[in-house]
Amino acid sequence: MAKKAPVNVAVIGAGAIGLHHIEGFRGHPDARVVAVAETDVARGREAVDRYGIPCLAADYRDLLTRPDIDVFSIALPTWLHAQVSIEALRVGKHVMLDKPMTTNAADAARILAAAKKARRVFMVGQNQRFSGAAQAVKQAVEAGRLGEVYHARATWLRRSGIPRIGSWFTQKKFAGGGCTYDIGVHVLDLALHLLGDFEPACVSGQTAAKFGPQGRGDGSWGKSAIDPKRPFDVEDFCVALIRMKSGRTIQMEVSWAAAIEQHDINGVQLFGTEAGATTNPARLFRPGPDGHESVELKPTTALVNDNRMAHFVDVVLGRAKPFVTPEQSLVVQRILDAIYASARTGREVRMK
């Protein structure tokens, strides 16, 4: 049975993205952020004071036992995602988890199993799906305006955007991987969502680390501590070809740092038999008798609340169906791992 309003939320981790979580939940009239857990007590204090949140815990486990807390909204470094999600689900919390789901597909499968067993809402906050532009393109695809969509290019190329060299983001055991896990996950998820196809057949990929190991390409994101001795053992470039069982293809190209002219190129481009489309900006392209037509796409009515936290609250309250399912997020994670396996072995990886 759906929860009754209000929905009480604990935000776990008050770093760069944790504050977005707090603000997102504050955007829903039936949600209340009642606690924050943060190991950096000064940072946590700043967050609770700024938003008038009544409780700060240095240890998130102190919040697991509070029956009045309905939701754990997790904005922790990626290596903690599986552990904290599973602990929270086991005690009956609903879990909103920031991307990527976790550091490997085996742990992602464990989270999915815990969510099913607990019968609680579990959602990975793939925010790019929620943007108005992505919704407009999704509507155009669903209305058949592109014809048969047979190919997608999923691109996120940053010129100088390594979150922060020496932070947890740039060490594999904490982050799972580099740009592929950090930003590739967004455009891969968006491409699969726009194609409406989560059944990969095989994956071929290559990764490289050309800038980070030399201390180049820093993007100064995040608040976690820097350790100059921390090895940079993740990739800052990735290219992949994903073949779907349907015959559709996705070409993914991602960099944290690269010698490119633009600062940031981000989006998904779709290739259809009747028209093509891009998400950034949301446009549709169609060859016509009078030349090439190019039109702006706007959502007719919203498919989903563009505030992912507010949408999550609606799902908990039984007012909306999940826009991102845990099964889909597991597929995304399996593809990411297959890209690494392909890069490691130099072979195409067949998906089961």
Ligand X SMILES: NC(=O)c1ccc[n+]([C@@H]2O[C@H](COP(=O)([O-])OP(=O)(O)OC[C@H]3O[C@@H](n4cnc5c(N)ncnc54)[C@H](O)[C@@H]3O)[C@@H](O)[C@H]2O)c1
Instruction: Point out the residues that are catalytic.
Output: 99
Hey, which residues does 246 pair with through a beta bridge? Answer: none
User: Smallest Cα–Cα separation from 164: which of 217, 123, 110?
Assistant: 217
Find the binding residues for ligand X in span 281-340 (CB under 6 A): none
Cis peptide, bond prior to residue 200, ω within 30 of zero? no
Q: What are phi and psi of 253, to 5 degrees?
A: -140, 120
Q: Is 179 a binder of ligand X (CB under 6 A)? A: no
Interaction residues for ligand X, span 180-219 (CB under 6 A): 182
Backbone φ and ψ of 325, nearest 5°? -100, 155
Q: Give the interface segment with ligand X, choosing from 14-22, 146-154, 188-196, 297-305 (CB under 6 A).
A: 14-22
Nearest position to ligand X, beta carbon: 15
Q: Helical H runs in the chain?
A: 18-26, 41-51, 61-64, 81-90, 105-118, 132-142, 172-175, 179, 185-195, 308-316, 326-345
- Touching ligand X, residues 39-58 (CB under 6 A): 39-40, 43
Closest to 199 in 3D by CA, of 247, 270, 154: 247
Tokens of 307: 């505030």
Of 12, 89, 240, 270, the one binding ligand X (CB under 6 A) is 12
Q: Based on the shown chain and the rule CB under 6 A, indicate whether residue 6 belongs to the binding site for ligand X.
A: no
Position 14 contacts ligand X (CB under 6 A): yes
Minimum distance, C-beta of residue 169 to ligand X, in the bound complex (Å):
7
Shortest distance (Å) from residue 182 CB to ligand X: 6
**Does 98 engage in binding with ligand X (CB under 6 A)?**
yes
Give residue for tokens 């009515």: 301
Distance CA 304, CA 168 (A): 33
| 35 binds ligand X per the rule CB under 6 A | no
38 near ligand X, rule: CB under 6 A = yes
Distance CA 332, CA 337 (A): 9
Least Cα distance to 161 among 70, 263, 306, 72 occurs for 263
The answer to whether 177 contacts ligand X (rule: CB under 6 A) is: no
Question: Counting contacts by CB under 6 A, is residue 170 touching ligand X?
Answer: no
Minimal distance, residue 302 CB to ligand X, in Å: 20
- DSSP 8-class letter at 155: E
Q: Cβ 283 to ligand X, closest distance in Å?
A: 23
Q: Is 21 in the site for ligand X (CB under 6 A)?
A: no
Q: Is 76 in the site for ligand X (CB under 6 A)?
A: yes
Contact 206, 344 (CB under 8 A): no
Q: Residue 222 interacts with ligand X (CB under 6 A)?
A: yes
Amino acid at 64: L
The only residue of 25, 60, 211, 312 in contact with ligand X, by rule CB under 6 A: 60
> Which of 6, 77, 147, 219: binder of ligand X (CB under 6 A)?
77
Under the binding rule (CB under 6 A), the answer on residue 271 touching ligand X is: no
Buried b / exposed e across 139-154, counting CB within 10 Å, b at 16+?
bbbeeebbeebbbbbb
Look at the block and give the residue holding tokens 């700060």: 56
Give the nearest distance from C-beta 179 to ligand X in angstroms.
Answer: 11
State the minimum distance, in angstroms, from the CB of residue 286 to ligand X: 32
18 vs 272 by CB, closer to ligand X = 18
**Residue found by looking up tokens 């194609």 in the block:** 195
Residues at the site binding ligand X, with contacts judged by CB under 6 A: 12-18, 37-40, 43, 60, 75-78, 80, 98-99, 125, 127, 182, 222-224
